[in-house]
Every structure is written in structure tokens, then in C-alpha cells.
A and B are shown apart, each in its own frame.
Chain A
């Protein structure tokens, strides 16, 4: 059963076709990968799924409902959230406030409630704070609690961005190059973390990554894009030995059998 499906997804910018007729599915509770050489259209696919770009043609279906051309915040509320290739934290806020802000969806009090400090306000605010603290503990961010996001080491910033995404309680989490700029050790930790998140938070994960060790290590299914089109799809083993994929990454003239 697929939680997300794209049908003939197409996006053009003026005369340039960034993504063309891409159809794939993401199985519920799986960790899936989206790979391809630079400029293949991977991030564009993420932007189409999360509503940041309007779809030119085709469909994105989430949990049986079409969600293309819906506003980004509504897609997030429906249960899809993401991280960014170039980290986008609330830079000058503390780690705690980054997560607390993202928890906002759990509370529903109005401006009047907060103005008069009603019970509804106090209870829900208390709940938000508990949830933010819990997430910080789970993601190992407690020691950085009051540090400004921008001052954190790179790897911690990545972790904070994932924690902030989890605060939305997503059913589908999109990670855009989570291992970029990480050393092999940090990458290994990240792999364990991603598997742990899938199990503990019960969400499906779709990862864009260039690090083949990470992709091959944790993904059950991999979609390969090249020049905006889907090249192939399959398990890590079949992808690894697919001559088309090898050619896309290494270029023409390489003998696939060699």
C-alpha cells in the first residue's frame, strides 16, 4: 500500500522541463530513496510534493487524496514535512524555541485565549512545552537547549532540522541530502537515526542523497532520476547493478559489464 504516489508529474520553468512524466510510489512505513546525478530534478520533486512549486501537469496523491497545488502549510498539516538541502532553521532562535514553534499545530487556542490567559491557553501551552522538551531529549539536543540555532555545529543543525520536522508529527518525512557535509562517522550515526525515527515515530521516510553507502544501507526501494525523467526503480541490489544507472552516474562510454 503506497502512502504517496506521483502520476506523470511534470514541471516546466519557462522553456526548461525540470521534471517530466515522473511516476513512482512510496510504500507506507518504508524508507525509500530518490537518487540521481546533479540537476536530475530530485529537489524539484520534493518542492512539488510539498507544494512549494505548482505542478505543471500530473498528480501527487497522498493517502488516496490529490494534494498537488495545495498550499505548503496545508500539506504540512496533512502530514508531509521536509528538511532542506541548504539547512533552513529559525536561525536566531534557540534550539528549544525552534522546536516549540514547530509544535504549534498541537495547540488550537485563539488570540483571545492568550490575551486573557485562559485555562485552555495555559494547558495547551504546557502541553507544547512538554512535547518540545520530549523531542529534544529523543533527538539528543537537550544539551544545546538554549543555544542559538545558527551557532550550532553543522551536524547538530541537521539533527535540529529533523527534530523540528518531527514536531509537526508527519506521516511522511522528506529528507533532502541529510548527510551533506557530514564525515563517515556522522553519516553512520545518521543512518541509525533515520531507521530509529521510522520505527519510533511511525512515519514513512523518503530520502534524497548522494552518499551511496547511506542510500544502499537503509533504503528498501530506490527511485533513480536522470535529466528530469525516471530512469528506473527497484531494490538497492538491482539499482547497484543496473547498467543504466551506472551510465547515468559515470557517463557515456563506460562499459556496463566491466
Chain B
């Protein structure tokens, strides 16, 4: 295993993380399931590629254009679908994702189904890492503010949230917008990583994969999403020795985790600095006194 290979996996994990973090806000914290986030990734990818290749904007600005474009598109979509309850919203997003893919397949400006080659390679490990750290910090700050608490209230009991004065529609819109921006930036990085874009890259399978990672990591946990993204991106690579059985083993592993730990890896808890400190202190105390141990995870927030 050489560094180039590992670097590739890390970058892939980072790009997945970006999309998963956004979806985590929508699904994990606001309680809205989406099976169309690959659609937002596609919008971001094509918009970022357009901004960079056709408009000549620098890479980071192009990514921003991709993210904002996906976010802008999410506004009318949210306006139309966020009043739908539960399953209906989910089906609407599924339709949206497929519609975006089919439109890109048939519009020839960006190469249609044949794809769009020749996008310069700009995504590097350092800029992926930088973007991911910033995105994670923003997410942690957001979910720990009154805005994040209001989103969680929507997830827990929407009617009660309204009667304590929370504008639930506004917070669902905000959540969808932020998650779309994240997905858009993730898509943008992907285009500048492979140097090639094709609508097929953003099918249903990718949307489902993102949702799987969110649930795998644990609903309502940012650290769960981070852990889930890294593990589930690396897993298919580790399983390469299984050759054609690789994805079967991957599926089995996910099913195993969900059966043995239905609340996900983190189960709504967070890895916090405070918890790590407590763990270290606990270990030390254990070594000294031979008793007492920290738990390593923060209090339940959900």
C-alpha cells in the first residue's frame, strides 16, 4: 500500500464526509429523510466545473459557486416539499434526485450522458482536509446553538415545537439549505478530483449511500457522521481482497452493525474534548488506584 493510494482514500472519505455532514443535519438533527442528495451533489459538481472551466474562476471560488447554486435550488424545492409529512417528503426528494440526473443526461451543454472530461485536477488532500475541518466546526457550532436545538425540536415533536413558538418551516428550510450547500461543495470537489463528470455518478445509489452513512454513524451525532464516513469509505477498499464479493461483504457489514447497534455507532452521543480529557484522566486514575474509569463519550444530547 503506497501513500498515493491511501491519500486517494482519505480524499474520498473527506468528500463523502462533506456530503454526509450536510445530510446529517437534515436527517439526523431535523428528522427529514432525503433520498435525493446526490441531486444536490450533481448540481454543485456541474456548477463548480462550469465556474472553473468556462468562467475561469479559481478553485475555491468555484466550489463556493457550486455549493451556493445547490443551496439556491434547494429553496424552491423546499418551499414545495417541506410541508409534506414524513414519507411523502422522502419520496419527493427521491423524485428530485432522479430528475436532476435525467436532465443532466439529456442536456448536451455539459456533455450529456457521455460526460464532461477535461476538468483540471485541483482537489488535493490539504484543501479537502481544510474544507472538512471548517465544515465540521461550523456544524458543531450550529447544532449547539438555539438554531440547532430548534431543528432537534422539529425532529422530536413538530407540533409541540410550533406551540413553543418555533417557526418549524423556517428551520426545515434552513436545514435543507445548509445540507444542499454541503452536498454541492462535496460534488464540486469530486469533479475536480476525478477530472471528469458524468450524471451516472450521482444516481440513487449515491443518495442511499449517504443516508446509510448517517444512520450507521448514529442519528443526531456529528462525530458519528465523521466516523461513519471514514469507516464506510475505507471499508470497500479494505475488502478489495474479496474481489467480486466485496460489496456483498460491505452490505453484510452494514446490516450486522445495524442489527447489533440499531442506534448507530455513536447513538446520538458526541466525542467531545471534555470526554476525551475525562477518559485520559480516568485511565490515569485507574492506573494509580486500579479502579474507576471514564466512559469516553459525552452526555446524551438527543
- Looking across the interface, which residue of chain B has its beta carbon closest to that of A94? B300
Chain A contacts for B147, CB-based, 8 A:
111, 114
- Which residues of chain A in 12-60 are interfacial with respect to chain B, using CB atoms and an 8 Å cutoff? 50, 52
| Whole-angstrom distance between the Cβ of B244 and the nearest chain A Cβ | 41
Q: Are A88 and B149 interface neighbours, CB within 8 A?
A: no
Q: Which of B144, B162, B268 touches A73 (beta carbons < 8 Å)?
A: B162
Q: Are A88 and B168 interface neighbours, CB within 8 A?
A: no
| Most central of A109, A111, A168 by chain B CB within 10 Å | A111
Residue interface mask A51-90, B partner, CB < 8 A = 1: 0100000000000000000011110110001101000111
Chain B contacts for A107, CB-based, 8 A:
146
B153 touches A (CB below 8 Å): yes
A187 touches B (CB below 8 Å): no
Q: Which of B160, B161, B163, B301 touches A97 (beta carbons < 8 Å)?
A: B301
Q: Are A52 and B159 interface neighbours, CB within 8 A?
A: yes
A207 touches B (CB below 8 Å): no
Q: Are B153 and A72 interface neighbours, CB within 8 A?
A: no
Given A114-B142, A115-B138, A148-B300, A91-B164 contact (CB < 8 Å): no
Q: Which of A76, A105, A121, A125 touches B163 (beta carbons < 8 Å)?
A: A76
A165 touches B (CB below 8 Å): yes
A100 touches B (CB below 8 Å): yes
- Looking across the interface, which residue of chain B has its beta carbon closest to that of A110? B147
B152 touches A (CB below 8 Å): yes
A-contacting residues of B (Cβ < 8 Å)? Answer: 138, 141-142, 144-147, 149-150, 152-153, 156-157, 159-168, 174, 268, 299-302
The 5 nearest A-B residue pairs measured at CB: A114-B145, A76-B165, A90-B156, A72-B162, A88-B160
13 contacts between A and B (CB under 8 A): A88-B159, A89-B160, A92-B268, A93-B152, A93-B156, A94-B300, A97-B301, A101-B164, A104-B146, A104-B150, A114-B141, A114-B145, A125-B145
